[in-house]
Amino acid sequence: MRKSEFATLLLAATFLLMAWAGSWFEIVAEGTYTEGLDREPTIRTQYLIDSSQESFEMSIENSTPLLLYWIEREDVSPEPTNQNENSSEPPSDAPSLDGGSEPCSGSCLDRARSWVGLTMFALFATLYLSSARPSTLTRATVALVWLLGTVVILTAVPLAAAADFGISGGEDSGGESSTGGFDTNTQETVEVDQFAHFEQDDDMGLSFDGISFTYDSVGFDLGLLAEEDRQAVIDSAPVEGEPGYESLIGFHGEMTVGPGSILTWWLLTTPLIIVNLWSPRNPLEEE
């Protein structure tokens, strides 16, 4: 192995270690109650993600109306059914056969971290193999692994963070937060099954800051109504001025997932990949 090849491997190892040890992504989320609460309380959250943990800071602007909302509402979560008590069916936590189980067993970010670590190791291994046994196949493998790692860093990690945050985009909304996860780290989370005529919409797009997610929801919170008034709202959505309309709650949230230093260090390996692809190579020299 030539000195230049050894230097390339040394630089690659350094860049990959710095990428792994640096900050990965920053998540900035802001959610506002647009209907039903005075002064539009706003929840702001900032996450920092690295190779081992997530740290976050949270603040609530105009928090008093939101705190009063949590205090005044009644929990109206549906009672668990006992239909399987006398049956021989397996426990409810057994894996379902319809594919309706959670997409990640545990943390989606932990799975994404494993993929990132695997692609970084694979990139260094293929670079070493290409230096030791240069061929068209090994060079092409280096480029392919680098492209795969870029995709994993730019898409898998942000999407995993969004899934852990609570924006899943699934059709089954039972048990999910009515804010799409924006209130996950607050003292109270109101689930969608406590609403009548609940509607939600989420979207994803690209921006200069990274991957952007938006979430909108609106519905009538049955926990704000007296028990005798809930059925009427369930049967027919009230309009402004009718009894029950005061329980209308609307929410709008925006979240941006932007890359940290991991992307910079990863991109610094690009010249090394180019050198690997285009530099003239001789077969292994005989001792």
pLDDT of 6 > 90? The answer is no
- Domain annotation covers residue 176: yes
- Domain annotation covers residue 174: yes
Q: How many domains does the chain contain in total?
A: 1
Of the ranges 84-93, 184-193, 255-264, which is most confident?
255-264
Q: Give percent above pLDDT 90 in the chain.
A: 38
Average pLDDT along the chain:
81
Strands (E), the chain: 25-35, 42-49, 54-61, 195-207, 210-221, 248-259
* Tokens 């704000």 -> residue: 224
- Domain annotation covers residue 144: yes
| Cβ proximity of 170 and 200 under 8 Å | no
- Domain annotation covers residue 83: no
Q: Which domain holds residue 117?
A: 3-73+107-278
- Domain annotation covers residue 193: yes
The DSSP H or E segment spanning 118 is helix 108-132
Among 27, 69, 23, CA closest to 44: 27
- Domain annotation covers residue 207: yes
- Domain annotation covers residue 119: yes
- Domain annotation covers residue 167: yes
pLDDT of 90 > 60? The answer is no
- Residue 10 banded pLDDT, cuts 50, 70, 90: very high
Name all contacts of 12-18 with Cβ < 8 Å and 24+ positions apart: 12/123, 12/124, 12/127, 12/269, 12/272, 13/124, 15/265, 15/266, 15/268, 15/269, 15/272, 16/120, 16/123, 16/124, 16/265, 16/266, 16/269, 18/261, 18/265
- Residue 105 banded pLDDT, cuts 50, 70, 90: low
What pLDDT is attached to residue 258?
86
Global pTM reads: 0.69
